[in-house]
Structure 1
């Protein structure tokens, strides 16, 4: 049974009632971030129960030495770990000598937690009775500022309900933290200084090996019943900790509040010798603006994001909550301000997968950012990979490739491969093609071809060289084959001729040849610069085309379908419907050996090819492949249900499409894979957006125009979304029997609706 304690609400994630077994899951679900830093929803006050403490800084990592049973040539030396950063949210609360700790109090009632997605803050309230008999009402609210992305703010209030009390607050900073995820239990942080200046405190530390310098800083103000008061402080200090203790007497019914301002100043953005000064300036901004004013600006900034990114679903609150949760977390993770950063699979919500960049960005996230931000944000994501091209060439050289061939990493922080499971690192090479598909997808959607001659062509050439060298001529088949790979479906390792990989390689080689010729013809100076650098030649283009044209694609004449890989039909083809539910998820119940021999598909694989290259296949072919492979798919990858939702909608199989949509949009909220305590599935959340816009909205680019073929789940009364298409902001609304289009920005626009041209006039609403 999936978890069901999250209360459906259109604009909030809500939890009511305190259950200790929910704490770690809620710490993930209620996480907050601002694109530069983020944190799990750990309690501000002490909690001695089971918890997963986590606060993270974008771009700050540690190269944790690879741990394997035996070394293989080409193995990465480290796995990049996103680091649990020095903690700043903590506030020890002591009432008449007893610590407030929800694990040890006599009772808790009216516990409520809210992640307000509309306004961008996390709130919590409860009443507790301490062992000493004191009853308290506690309310807290915190957020990470979008405007000042080095700053977080907390307002924490305690009201005694049954007696006058003495209350002590000890807001603190702590760099003596550890990672939940570590290979060797290394020390990740070295604390350089613990300092204070009046009511401010600073801990400066650096990461081991990578030497990122971080100043964690705090300052605090206080109110009683909303009126500011001044308190003297005492200091608790050690080599890795500083706490400022403030104590006062509070009458029954009075509310004693602390406003804590804190955050991270890093050497990514400041000179490492001036971090404390920069931190001081950030704290002064907070102290001058006040919690209320900072929160009001936070609400405005989130309103701006939602004005473009929101998807409205009428008549289905769980579906509405799901899509907004996905959009909210994507924006908390990445806002496109810094081309050095990217979108980790867990974002700022956990440490699994190392917090690094995967192919998810190019295959799933780029469309969301292209359509809901401006195209510069999408360009930054492409530029991230361009900046890593030299490292990708090095990665390929380590595996024996030459002549400028590039293999982009499966997992990376700085362009180096840092994933150390051999069947992924060496074999899941389809990720290389995702880099080129993303460039093609960007040009198709934005119309901005200039990226290719400026930066993209060098990446395209290097990846084409990889595919040319990775393919093997088979005398038996008289075609080129690609041996020993793992496709997107990681439940098949070391297989030959994975359909998706082979088809992607075939397309990449042809596309690369076409782009080299186009740049040579239309962008002569760029071509000369690139040709001088890469020595690309007509002879090489001809070799690429030969491999492309003669690429082997496994096919079953009997079933009239492309095979997932050469040996797929040799398996015992028992469908998921005939699999005992007690055996699910198989990745937690079965041995790896049993999984690899099974027909079960972790995520869309052959169907991934039909999604990426939809225009290459007929709808009849899609249906035949969907009907064959879907019954074997267990969707134990977060990246799977969205593709199936889009394809089921295209095929008019709306009950299935809706079921897949709920699975992708509520994957974490309902904890389908029973792992939400480890963090959220951030990158797949972009797939949820795609399942609405491309699935139910039927959005495509056809004949260089936006095209829509809308279909609506029976559970919905209507839905709407916006797209930034080439600088024009189009709003699309779908209801039963009616579709409306309007332009929030831009001149008149011609688009396709169910294959027919319609004209959307600026300033008017067009119905069809």
Structure 2
């Protein structure tokens, strides 16, 4: 049974009624972010019940020393972790000497949360009866500004309902924060200074080992029924925190309002010795605007984002809510402004996976950002990997590779591998192929070739060198084989000849050779520079081609399918439909030994390959492989349902495609994997966007031309989306009666719709 307490609404995530069992899940679901920082939806006031406190700053991490039982050569020294940052949202409320704490209140009524995705704010309200019988109504609005992305704002309203009372409001900063997932209970932060001036306070700190300097700041303003209270706070400092206490005698029915601005200035953007000065400047800007004007700017900024990235669905509120939640969280996590940053699988919503960068960015996120932002954002994502090329070469050297072979990390913050599970660190090498594919995908979609001679070709050469060295020549097969790998399906470790990995390796080599030739012809100076820098000679390229031309791929003549790896058919082939529901999810119910010996697939490797290289295979081949592998797939990877939705739609199986779409779009809202309290699945949310645009919309780029094969689930009346294709905005609207297209841009564009040419002209809507 999936959770179902989130109300269906097209533009908001809504929870009504206070349930202690849902607090941690809701802290994830109502998370907010602005690309530079983010935070879980923790209560501002103290809460003594179960909670997972979390505030995070983009790019700030700690190298937590690897903890393993048996050290192996090549292991990373550390696991990089996004740090739980100093907490600036805290506001203690004390009424007649009794702390407001929803866990200890006699009664909590009319509890409601709303995450308003259209406008980018989070609101919580309730009526509570404290143990001392004082009844209060509370309403809190919070947002992280997109315009002033170093600050957030809180408006905290307290109204007395049944008596006069003394109310003490205590906004505070707390630097004494730890990560829940620390390996060794290390101290991550060192606090160097705590300061307080009037209604402002600052905590200066830096991370241990990595030495990121951060100034956490706040400012408080008090009002009673809208009138300013000019009060000096009582200041209390500890070694890790600073608190401002305001004592107010409040009458029944009066409303006391605290407006609190807070946030972080970091040495990524300012000189280390100027962080407090920068914080003061941010507070001056926020104060000058005030809460209401800053909120209006937030609404305007989100309106601009939605204008391009929204997908509108008519006739299915849950489907609509699901896709908007996914798009909203993607934009909260990464806005593409800074090539030093990337997208973590949990974004700013939790600590799992260390908040680091995975292959998810290249395989799933790049298409979303290419089509809903602009070329520069996608370029920044690719530049992030180019900037880490030397680290990728060093990662390969640690495993015994040479001659500039590059192995991009499975998990990273700075380009250095920091994952400490051997079957992933050493074996899940398919991530190299995803990075090469992203370079190809960028050129295919944007038409911009410049990245390849400037940066991309060096990356491709390093990757091709890795594949060339990673294969063995099998005397028995008289072909090149790949031993001891793990594919995207992590339920099969240390296998031989994973089809997806072998196919990627062959394709990467072929693509690299092709790009070397193109750069030589069209960018001779770049070619000369790159050949000299990489010391690449024609004989080495010939050796690569021998590997590519004679790669082994496991295949079943009986089933007429490529096999996930050697020995796949030696398993007891019981389909998922014949597995008792009580046994699932198997990753929570079974031993790892049992999982590895089963045929059950976390995500289908072969189908992932068919998704990347769809045009290499016929429709009939896709259908045969889909029908063979889907019945064994448990979809316990968040990255699995979206690919299956896209392929089911291509096969015309719209009911199945719709079911997979709902699963990917509502993975967190409905908590399919029973783990949402740990944080959201941010990177798979880009796959949800793909399942509509590439799945139902059938969008592809073939030979530089945009193709569509629109289909619509029977549950929907219509849907529409926009894509930014080569600096022109194409609007696609699909209904049961047909589809229409519009274009905004420099001039006409010819596209293909169901195999027929259609010319789009700015200012005109074309039915197709």
Q: Same fold, TM exceeding 0.5?
A: yes
Shift of 1:188: 0.4
Mapped pair 1:99 → 2:99: yes
Contact 1:362 1:438 (8 Å CA) reproduced: yes
Counterparts of 1:472 and 1:733, CA distance in 2 = 50
SS of the residue corresponding to residue 692 of structure 1 reads helix
Q: What secondary structure does 1:668 align onto?
A: coil
Q: CA deviation at 1:97?
A: 1.1
| Rounded Cα–Cα distance in structure 2 between residues aligned with 1:76 and 1:534 | 26
Asked whether the equivalents of residues 486 and 492 of structure 1 are also in contact (C-alpha less than 8 Å), the reply is: yes
Q: Deviations over 1:358-407 (max 9, x none)?
A: 00000000000000000100000000000000000000000000000000
Q: Which residue of 1 aligns with 2:569?
A: 569
RMSD of aligned residue pairs (Cα, Å): 0.6
Matched with 1:650 is 650
- Maintained 8 Å contact 2:198/2:232: no
Partner Cα distance (1:103, 1:34) in 2: 30
Q: CA separation in 2, counterparts of 1:118 and 1:228?
A: 31
The match for 2:113 is 113
State the shift of 1:745 in Å.
Answer: 2.9
Residue 316 (structure 2) pairs with residue 303 (structure 1):
no
What SS does the aligned partner of 2:707 have? strand
1:275-313 deviation line (CA, Å, top 9, x unaligned): 111111111111111000000000000000000000001
The answer to whether the 8 Å contact 2:707/2:753 transfers is yes
Structure 1 residue 744: Cα displacement: 2.8
For the residues of structure 2 that align with 1:609 and 1:703, how far apart are their CA atoms? 20
Partner of 1:402: 402
- The ranges of structure 1 where at least 4 consecutive aligned residues each deviate by more than 3 angstroms after the TM superposition are none
Once the two structures are superposed, what CA deviation does each residue of 1:438-468 show, in whole Å capped at 9, x if it has no partner?
A: 0000000000001000000000000000000
- Within 1, Cα distance between the matches of 2:118 and 2:227? 28
What is the CA–CA distance in structure 1 between the aligned matches of 2:212 and 2:400, rounded to whole Å? 32
Shift of 1:240: 0.5
1:710 paired residue number: 710
Q: CA deviation at 1:204?
A: 0.3
Provide the rounded CA distance (Å) in 1 between the counterparts of 2:763 and 2:363: 35
1:419 maps to what in 2? Answer: 419
> What does residue range 664-675 of structure 1 map to in structure 2 within 5 Å?
664-675=664-675
For residue 606 of structure 2, what is the aligned residue in structure 1? 606
Q: Which residue is equivalent to 1:89?
A: 89
Of 666-675 and 538-547, deviating more is 538-547
For residues 431 and 541 of structure 1, the distance between their equivalents in structure 2, rounded to whole angstroms, comes to 22
Aligned to 1:585: 585
Instruction: Write the distance in 2 (CA, Å) between the matches of 1:555 and 1:155.
Output: 62
TM-score normalised over the length of structure 2: 1.00
Q: What is the DSSP-based 3-state SS (H/G/I as helix, E as strand, rest coil) of the residue aligned with 2:324? A: helix
TM-superposed deviation, 1:160: 0.5
Secondary structure of the corresponding residue to residue 158 of structure 1:
strand
Contact 2:481 2:552 in 1 (8 A): yes
Q: Distance in 1 between matches of 2:154 and 2:368?
A: 31
The corresponding residue for 1:635 is: 635
- Which residue of the partner structure matches residue 18 of structure 2? 18
Q: Shift of residue 223 of structure 1?
A: 1.4
Q: For the Cα contact (< 8 Å) 1:166–1:250, is it kept in 2?
A: yes
TM-score w.r.t. the length of structure 1 is 1.00
1:329–1:682 Cα contact (<8 Å) kept: yes
Q: Supply the distance in 1 between the matched residues of 2:146 and 2:536 (Cα, whole angstroms).
A: 45
Say which SS state the counterpart of residue 115 (structure 1) adopts: strand
Question: Structure 1: how far apart are the matches of 2:720 and 2:456?
Answer: 34
**Counterpart position of 1:266:** 266
Tell me the alpha carbon deviations over residues 160-180 of structure 1, each in whole angstroms, 9 at most, x when there is no partner: 111111111000000001111
Alignment-derived partner of residue 511 in structure 1:
511
SS at match of 1:596: helix
Q: Please list, as runs of the form range in 1=range in 2, the aligned pairs for 1:290-439 lying within 5 A after superposition.
A: 290-439=290-439
Match of 2:43 in 1: 43
* Shift, 1:232, TM fit: 2.4
Q: Structure 1 residue 227: deviation in Å?
A: 2.1
Q: Secondary structure at the match of 1:335?
A: coil
Which residue in 2 is equivalent to 1:171?
171
Gaps of 5+ in 2: none
Equivalences, count? 768
Partner Cα separation in structure 2 for residue 604 and residue 46 of structure 1:
45
Q: Find the counterpart in structure 2 of residue 762 from structure 1.
A: 762
SS at match of 2:112: strand
What is the CA deviation profile of residues 83-141 of structure 1, one whole-angstrom value per residue up to 9, with x for unaligned ones?
Answer: 00000000000111110000000000000000000000110000001111111100000
Structure 1 Cα separation of the partners of residues 420 and 43 of structure 2: 34
Residue of structure 2 equivalent to 1:730: 730
More deviation, 532-541/94-103:
532-541
Shift of the alpha carbon at 1:696? 0.2
Q: CA deviation at 1:245?
A: 0.2
**Deviation digits for residues 40-61 of structure 1, max 9, x if unmatched?**
0000000000000000000000
Q: Give me the whole-angstrom Cα distance separating, in 1, the residues matched to 2:229 and 2:170.
A: 16
* 2: CA distance, partners of 1:621 / 1:203: 61
Q: CA deviation at 1:746?
A: 3.2
Checking the alignment, whether the CA contact within 8 Å between 1:604 and 1:643 is kept in structure 2 is no
Alpha-carbon contact 1:729-1:746 (below 8 Å) kept: no
Give the match's secondary structure for 1:719.
Answer: strand
CA distance in 1, matches of 2:608, 2:267: 40
* TM alignment of 1:454-473, pairs within 5 A: 454-473=454-473
Whether the 8 Å contact between 2:198 and 2:233 is mirrored in structure 1 is no
| Alignment partners' CA distance in 1, 2:573 and 2:746 | 53
Distance 2:744 2:19 in 1: 45
Aligned equivalents of 2:465, 2:129: Cα separation in 1:
68
Inter-partner Cα distance in structure 2 for 1:703 and 1:379: 21
Deviation at 1:673, TM superposition (A): 0.2
* Matched-pair contact (CA < 8 Å) for 2:555–2:561: yes
Equivalent runs, 1:694-705 vs 2, <5 Å: 694-705=694-705
Q: Take 2:647 and 2:743, find their aligned partners in 1: how far apart are those partners?
A: 28
